[in-house]
């Protein structure tokens, strides 16, 4: 075995690692046996500068998976599908596409995360439904998916412990934004969850990890190749996260928007469009529908008929949640202060900085700065305009939902600084830039 020193030196000097030396280093670090945090930190920084070859990333991903347990979905019938978003603001697609895909016959066995920084997390949104449980035992998880075709829960068991340790170090050593490190981190977790088909929603823009479409494309390509290499069907959609995707931002607010979409009350909205498109890709990948066009049509039917909404209600009930929220939105937590932010001038909205909007929601209490921070499920904001729309001075640009009066001024400042208004109409980015498989 190479010493940690020798291993780091090889990456520093741009030599290629063997799969075996990567495995030894990662497993020793994960087990606290002979690799110290400062050595891992030094290696991560060497990777940040020097990159990794495709075989190196594959070996890293496999070693990370082997640091813990994997979920075995083989006892479930049908095609098991999973979806992952690289994260964004107003990115509520899971709550819409998971019930739609399940209503079409896919087995949606999904483990989600919590929100951090400016991005929201599906688990926090789900927990705003009164009574909802997101931590199920592995057996409960499998039973629920077998029975109703869908479960969205927090990670069970000891999945990819190497990632949790490495991510915490990356977070404090300026090594998060490295494509091979992101690809191995995301894919090790997705592969450990055991689905046959994995759909990746890789976001780009000012609310995303990857700010340019070129970087998003490289990351997407690398994750698709990794998944295929490990025998799974993987596809990536590159989608816009320059402006927020949904209209409502905040936990209960995003559940509300998902319900409204599944009630067919927001036809043609950006969130609906992207969610339907992602669900259609899942159905085609799972070979439930032979073509993407047929899959789109099937998803639309399930949305319009209310089958998707009924499946969401079934999922809430199965996980202890109050399914009546799908009929009566007033049963969701409500904020006590509703306050508009008014446009300072007339014109066209020319840009909305998604990350700053996410920080505004965090300032109101909807998100967390640190992992241990509490969140308020009721608060957040409603965006009344998208890029390209016309606005008059004094009209609302956004509506704040707050519980603490002192959070209003900072949120208002962030919103005003994140939206630009100009005399000429500009075209927003395409919602979906391309599909990589
Ligand atoms: N999300 C992850 O899970 N890992 C990363 O490295 C970046 C985003
Ligand atoms: Ca997420």
Asked about 322 being catalytic, the answer comes back as: no
The two tokens of residue 253 are 């607010």
Architecture in CATH for domain 333-422: Alpha-Beta Complex (3.90)
Q: Which residues is 233 bridged to in the sheet?
A: 197
In this prediction, residue 51 carries a pLDDT of 97
Domain boundaries in the chain?
A: 4-51, 80-326, 333-422
- Considering only CA atoms, give the Rg of the chain: 22
Is 285 within 8 Å of 279 (Cβ atoms)? no
What is the block-wise mean pLDDT of the chain (437 residues), using blocks of 10 residues? 96 98 98 97 98 96 97 95 95 98 98 84 96 96 98 91 94 93 96 97 95 96 95 97 98 98 98 98 98 98 98 98 98 98 98 97 92 92 97 97 98 98 96 97
Q: In angstroms, rounded to a whole number, what is the distance separating the alpha carbons of residues 29 and 36? A: 7
Give a three-class secondary structure readout of 220-286. HHHHHHHHHHCCCEEEEEEEECCCCCCCEEEHHHHHHHHHHHHCCCCCCCHHHHHHHHHHHHHHHHC
In this prediction, residue 157 carries a pLDDT of 78
- 223: Cβ below 6 Å to ligand 1? no
Is 64 within 8 Å of 273 (Cβ atoms)? no
Is 79 within 8 Å of 196 (Cβ atoms)? yes
Nearest CA to ligand 1 atom 7: 182
Range 4-51 classified under CATH 1.10.40.30: no
Q: Which residues is 435 bridged to in the sheet?
A: 237
In this prediction, residue 117 carries a pLDDT of 77
Of 184, 208, 9, residue with least CA distance to 89: 208
In this prediction, residue 114 carries a pLDDT of 84
CATH class of the domain at 80-326 = alpha beta
Neighbours of 390 (CB within 10 A): 12
- 185: Cβ below 6 Å to ligand 1? yes
Cα–ligand 1 centroid distance for 120 (angstroms): 14
Catalytic residue among 163, 201, 242, 376: 163
Give the chain's count of helices (H) and strands (E). 16, 13
Of 134, 111, 152, 401, residue with least CA distance to 252: 401
In this prediction, residue 372 carries a pLDDT of 83
- 285: Cβ below 6 Å to ligand 1? no
Nearest CA to ligand 1 atom 3: 186
- Output the pTM of the full model: 0.95
Name the DSSP class of 331. G
DSSP string of 208-220, one letter each residue = SSB-SHHHHHHHH
């Amino acid at each position: 075995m190479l010493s940690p020193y020798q291993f780091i030196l090889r990456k520093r000097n741009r030599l290629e690692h063997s799969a075996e030396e990567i495995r030894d280093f990662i497993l020793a670090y994960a087990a606290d046996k002979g690799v110290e945090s400062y050595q891992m930190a030094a290696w991560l920084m060497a990777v940040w500068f020097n990159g990794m070859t495709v075989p190196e990333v594959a070996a890293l991903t496999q070693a990370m998976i082997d640091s813990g347990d994997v979920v075995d979905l083989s006892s479930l019938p049908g095609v098991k599908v999973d979806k992952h978003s690289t994260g964004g603001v107003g990115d509520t697609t899971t709550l819409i596409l998971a019930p739609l895909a399940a209503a079409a016959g896919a087995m949606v066995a999904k483990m989600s995360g919590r929100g951090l920084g400016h991005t929201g997390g599906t688990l926090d949104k789900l927990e705003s439904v009164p009574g909802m449980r997101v931590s199920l035992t592995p057996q409960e998880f499998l039973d629920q998916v077998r029975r109703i075709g869908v479960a969205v829960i927090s990670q069970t068991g000891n999945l990819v412990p190497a990632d949790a340790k490495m991510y915490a170090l990356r977070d404090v050593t300026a090594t998060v934004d490295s494509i091979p490190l992101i690809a191995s981190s995301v894919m090790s977790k997705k592969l450990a969850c055991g689905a046959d088909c994995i759909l990746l929603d890789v976001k780009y823009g000012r609310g995303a990890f990857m700010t340019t479409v070129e970087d998003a494309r490289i990351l997407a390509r690398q994750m698709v190749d990794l998944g295929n290499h490990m025998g799974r069907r993987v596809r990536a959609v590159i989608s816009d996260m320059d402006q927020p995707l949904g209209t409502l931002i905040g936990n209960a607010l995003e559940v509300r928007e998902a319900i409204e979409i599944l009630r067919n009350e927001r036809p043609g909205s950006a969130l609906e469009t992207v969610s339907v498109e992602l669900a259609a890709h899942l159905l085609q990948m799972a070979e439930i529908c032979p073509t993407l066009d047929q899959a789109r049509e099937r998803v639309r039917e399930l949305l319009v008929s209310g089958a998707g909404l009924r499946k969401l209600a079934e999922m809430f009930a199965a996980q202890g949640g109050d399914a009546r929220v799908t009929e009566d939105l007033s049963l969701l937590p409500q904020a006590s202060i509703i306050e508009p932010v008014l446009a300072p001038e007339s014109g066209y909205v020319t840009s909305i900085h998604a990350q700053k909007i996410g920080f505004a929601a965090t300032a109101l209490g909807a998100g967390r700065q640190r992992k241990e921070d509490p969140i308020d499920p009721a608060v957040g904001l409603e965006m009344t305009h998208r890029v390209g729309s016309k606005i008059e001075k004094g009209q609302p640009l956004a509506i704040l939902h707050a519980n603490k009066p002192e959070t209003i001024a900072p949120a208002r400042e962030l919103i005003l600084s994140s939206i630009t208004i100009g005399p000429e109409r500009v075209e927003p980015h395409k919602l979906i830039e391309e599909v990589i498989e």
